Structure 1
Amino acid sequence: MLVIAVVAIVGAGAFAVVASNRVKGSASKTAAAYFEAWRKGNVDGMARLVYQPPADYTARHRALSEELHVESIQLTPGPLKSTGDGSAEVPFAGVRRLAEFGAWPFDGILRLGVRDRAWKVLWAPETLHPLLKDGGRLELDEIDVSAAELVTSEGEKIPNDSYAEAYLNPLKPEFEQVGFGWQLVLKTPGQPDRSLLTKQPEANVERTTLSRPVQAAAARALDGIEDSTIVVIRPSTGEILGLADRLEDNYSAVRDVFPPGSVFKTISAAALLKKGLDPSAQVACPATYTIPGFRTIPNDGEVDRGLVSFTDAFAHSCNTTFVEQATTLLSSEELVETAAEWGFGRPIMTGIGGTCGTVPETDDMDLLAENAIGQGEVVTSPLCMAALAAAVQSGTWRSPRLLSKAQVRRIDGEPVPDVQLDERIVAALRNMMTAVVDHGTASEAGLPEGVAGKTGTAEVGEGVTPHGWFLGYRDDLAFCVFVRNGGSGRSAAVPAAVRFLNGL
């Protein structure tokens, strides 16, 4: 009987040990059930599989989905790995689709362990997302933005380092549309906020008239040339194809004016042609010329060319010829009137402002002489000189513009009408500007075939380096190069024009 009793007791004890070691379910089944409930959004079902879930377990899950605007979640579990006696883990890949950002992938680890004789999920905030570790919070913030993008006429981005930023950046507010974007931010105690995702609203894209290849060529032509600018215009339309501006001290190629020097002889020549002076007429080009009863004007270097055609006097930029002819044949009013026909004193509707310049009337014969050669009180902008070159090429003066006609009208008002110019004078000026490049002051400088132009050197004070100018055109492209205090037009401006034209 005693033996039987002992055996019974031992048997009961062994059963109790077996019963106490019996574990409900398996790690793989618990993990599969958790992932399935997570996919379906069954947070209560997920909580039942978690060992001692926090009181805010359900609230955390629902808040994250609501605050981040989660539309769906995909979960792809990897193979289950045993990590010890009664513990395991399942690596998984997840993808949350957020309404504002689309697919947002993440990787996580689901940890499991035997608790109270059952396999349970050992949950922590990083199970929901690894970035929630250490008290991290994910927040979706609305950000106020106003977006506008200005692009080239081809619809492409403006080239980097284009030297046009000073004009484009202030123009953007004209096209901005007030809106808002989104930013997904990680906030971790003791650490700076970290932006994870940002979505800006689509920018209001506005095309300018800038040509990407022309703008790029103009900008690169000015690399290394301080205090300089190139303005390029399409003569047939007035569109500004290139606007590279490296002028310093807040000067603007569009809005500021400078003494033009001999490029203004293009206007003086037009006035003399209008008065009846023939391009082939023989005129004197002495080293110096004294206005009867007034001052003496020298040629550059006091070069004496003797008798030359009026075309060659223009090509060689004879100061003495232009002073003699202007003071003999023209009145100040006639010079001012001709300048007005070619843009001076006329409003310019670009969309970014602008001015052409002024030619003041005078009763002073010395001042008339100086004005006729672009000195005295005559001032002009590089934009205006590019428009002048464009007018010679096309036979029509057009207000330059950087935007579409509709946008220019909206910003600046009714456009300035085009001005048809005298065909006889235009034809003569084309030949004279061709002579400048062929055998005049811009000859043998490396300019491509087909270019016509006019150089200018503007004196700006005793001991101060003069401004260098060169305006010209080739086919349906007109330009003005201006180098402030850069030296002569031939030495400072023409080389930049060569680089620009060869860079197209």
Structure 2
Amino acid sequence: MRRLRRTLSATVTLAVACTMLTGCFEEPSPHDAVRDFLVGWQTEDYDLAAGRTDGDQVTVRKALSDAKLELDAASFRFKIKSMTVNGDESTAAFHAEVDLGENNPLWQYDGKLPLHLVDGAWKVRWSPSVLHPELKEGQRFAVDIDPKPRQPVVDRTGESLQTNTVVYSAGVYPANLGDQAEEVVARLSEITGYAQDRLLSRIRSSPPDKFVPLVTFGRTRYQSMKSKLDAISGIETKPQEQPVNPDAPRQIVGTVSTLTPEYEQKLGGPQRAGDSVGKSGLQQAYQSYLTGSTQTRVITLDLKTGKEVTQLKEWPGRQNVSVKTTIDRGIQAAAEQAVADSETSALVAVDSKTGEIRAVATKGSMHQEKDALAGKYPAGTAFSVVAADALVKNRVSPKQRLDCPQERTVGGAKFVAAGQAAGSTSSATFQENFAKGCVTALASLARRVKAEDLEKSAEAFGVGQSWRLPLKSFSGSFPELSSDADKAKAIAGQNVEVSPLGMALVAAAVSSGTWRPPVLVTDPKSPDPAAETVPSAQPAPVPVDPRVLTALRPMMRAGAFGTPAQAGKAKVYGVTATAGDQMTWFVGWQGDVAIAVLSKNYNASAVAGGFFAGLQNPS
């Protein structure tokens, strides 16, 4: 389809060019010959072009056709620059644009057409220099490419987050094929599905003594096709190592595949058949950085020796680079071990002082990107951390006494304290009810705070913010609050949706005193040009009110104390919450590492405890 679009574009350009060329001159002159030659060359009407030269018609037709094959060109476009006439001699200067195809560079050069009168008709004086001023007899064009190996995704220390695997490139040395090239590519096309004309054009446009990779296979597919490949005379298969097997966090790093015919058709960028292509995660999001762009040279070759004569043009290509993440292998290992014993869990760990993501681990049906970063889940009473910001600012003291009945109705909305014992609890404080997640006590505070104050607190803690992350993520959603019932539901997190990543950043804000947006990749600095919609800038950090920190940190210390989250002697801060559908949250921190854990049919605070223990006692 990409080549078809180029052909259509060239046809449109041709229509304009014909008008321009025809209208350039008022009197009979060499312009008809110039026009017909360039139009014929551009539209592959080589009979028309050859008929306007004084050369052997067969020789000219073949030279023009071979030029397109030798350059693997998608299209030619021409524009007349000037023309001079001196008696029965004339010279036309033209500008050429050659689309080298497959998103390779556009080659532009200036050429000249010498003309003279032959039996009263203007003819282009034929020689190879008509095609390019530096092309001589006994020479041909070629395109020499130097693809760069794929670079790895690395952790925060620069260590690769992939291990090497062997891939197999099937290709040819054009010089060894003789006149069998068409037969070879026909058989290769039949067993691989790659377009025969594309394989053939790569061979014919390459230097004859250079190995031309045509198709690359992973180990399994290669083993299944080895006997068929071995049966094609002229095909050689070369193994090579590439860093493509993802280490943890596997779904964040992403998978890599060899380029299939289907991917080749739909992908833009510098890919050629046989290249590797990211299929998911950061490997996909940063495909154009990891692969860079191929170095390309247009050269002339000696037809007899096949050796390079002249370099006509060189494009060094964009250097491909590693993608440096914020992942910490030690923290990631602790996260992987912590979720291992649960049935279904997601854990996200961030650095409290920077917002950098240190680990993402999931178990069961949860996916590291789709659930841990981008999942949309009820916040439950874990959202009381954010609500407390608004409540404390409205002079609700952590020492205030609150009842925690089994049931309570606020503004017509009914709340049930699941798992909580009913009875006289007037001695319990706001801090104690916060720590045990008593939804009926928390909901009772709805009348103590304005809707806009809750909205401001949610925004300050990143809920609904448009942050910049190369993978899909969810910063949360906060509803419009039009009644006491709505406010009570918000305080209890029943009408608020969040992701584990979003809640880990909430914990980090209380720990460090400032909410910061998440960071997963530190280099390259700018978003990948191939990525989908990515905000141009991160939201600014938001300091937490010191009064809130003074109240909230002891509340979260009380929330973790005596729970499975408390690991060893190191202080753990946090809150355990329920979120319906047998889901539980733990949101908190230890030291500079803040986490959010979401578990189904399992105690999230137990996962957190295993994680913090793993940080203290790494294996």
What TM-score results when the alignment is normalised by the length of structure 1?
A: 0.60
**CA–CA distance in 2 between the matches of 1:271 and 1:247?**
36
**CA–CA distance in 2 between the matches of 1:488 and 1:220?**
15
- Map of 1:248 onto structure 2: 365
Query: Across the two proteins, how many residue pairs are aligned to each other?
Result: 334
- Map of 2:497 onto structure 1: 379
- Map of 1:162 onto structure 2: 249
- Map of 1:393 onto structure 2: 511
The letter of the residue matching 1:291 is V
1:415 and 2:538 are equivalent in the alignment: yes
CA contact (8 A) 1:454 1:471 kept: yes
The letter of the residue matching 2:253 is E
**CA–CA distance in 1 between the matches of 2:161 and 2:286?**
13
- Map of 2:448 onto structure 1: 329
The 3-state SS of whatever aligns with 1:285 is: coil
The Cα offsets for residues 136-182 of structure 1, whole Å up to 9 and x where unpaired, read as xxxxx9885651211111111238343433433323414222348xx
The letter of the residue matching 1:290 is T
The 3-state SS of whatever aligns with 1:232 is: strand
The letter of the residue matching 1:415 is Q
CA contact (8 A) 2:289 2:320 kept: no
**CA–CA distance in 1 between the matches of 2:283 and 2:569?**
34
- Map of 1:486 onto structure 2: 601
The 3-state SS of whatever aligns with 2:353 is: coil
Query: Which range moves more in the overlay, 206-215 or 393-402?
Result: 206-215
- Map of 2:590 onto structure 1: 474
- Map of 2:289 onto structure 1: 175
CA contact (8 A) 2:577 2:584 kept: yes
The 3-state SS of whatever aligns with 1:482 is: strand
1:369 and 2:372 are equivalent in the alignment: no
1:494 CA drift (Å): 3.8
In the alignment, structure 1 segments of 5+ residues that lack a partner are 1-140, 181-201, 461-465
**CA–CA distance in 2 between the matches of 1:382 and 1:448?**
26
1:319 CA drift (Å): 1.1
The letter of the residue matching 1:486 is N
1:291 corresponds to which of 410, 415, 418: 410
The letter of the residue matching 1:205 is S
In the alignment, structure 2 segments of 5+ residues that lack a partner are 1-143, 163-246, 255-280, 296-318, 529-533
**CA–CA distance in 2 between the matches of 1:478 and 1:329?**
29
Cα distance change on mapping 1:170 and 1:285 into 2, 3 Å: same
1:245 CA drift (Å): 3.5
Higher alpha-carbon Rg? 1
The 3-state SS of whatever aligns with 1:301 is: coil
The Cα offsets for residues 34-93 of structure 1, whole Å up to 9 and x where unpaired, read as xxxxxxxxxxxxxxxxxxxxxxxxxxxxxxxxxxxxxxxxxxxxxxxxxxxxxxxxxxxx
The letter of the residue matching 1:431 is P
CA contact (8 A) 2:561 2:572 kept: no
1:354 and 2:354 are equivalent in the alignment: no
- Map of 1:456 onto structure 2: 577
- Map of 1:112 onto structure 2: none
Query: Which range moves more in the overlay, 290-299 or 449-458?
Result: 290-299
**CA–CA distance in 2 between the matches of 1:364 and 1:312?**
26
**CA–CA distance in 1 between the matches of 2:419 and 2:609?**
20
What TM-score results when the alignment is normalised by the length of structure 2?
A: 0.49
1:310 corresponds to which of 430, 434, 458: 430
- Map of 2:150 onto structure 1: 147
1:210 CA drift (Å): 1.1
CA contact (8 A) 1:231 1:479 kept: yes
- Map of 2:393 onto structure 1: 274
1:437 corresponds to which of 547, 560, 564: 560
The 3-state SS of whatever aligns with 1:472 is: strand
Cα distance change on mapping 1:156 and 1:214 into 2, 3 Å: same
The 3-state SS of whatever aligns with 1:268 is: helix
- Map of 2:521 onto structure 1: 403
The Cα offsets for residues 192-218 of structure 1, whole Å up to 9 and x where unpaired, read as xxxxxxxxxx97323211112112221
CA RMSD of aligned residues (A): 3.0
1:274 CA drift (Å): 1.2
Cα distance change on mapping 1:455 and 1:290 into 2, 3 Å: same
**CA–CA distance in 1 between the matches of 2:338 and 2:467?**
26
1:381 CA drift (Å): 0.6
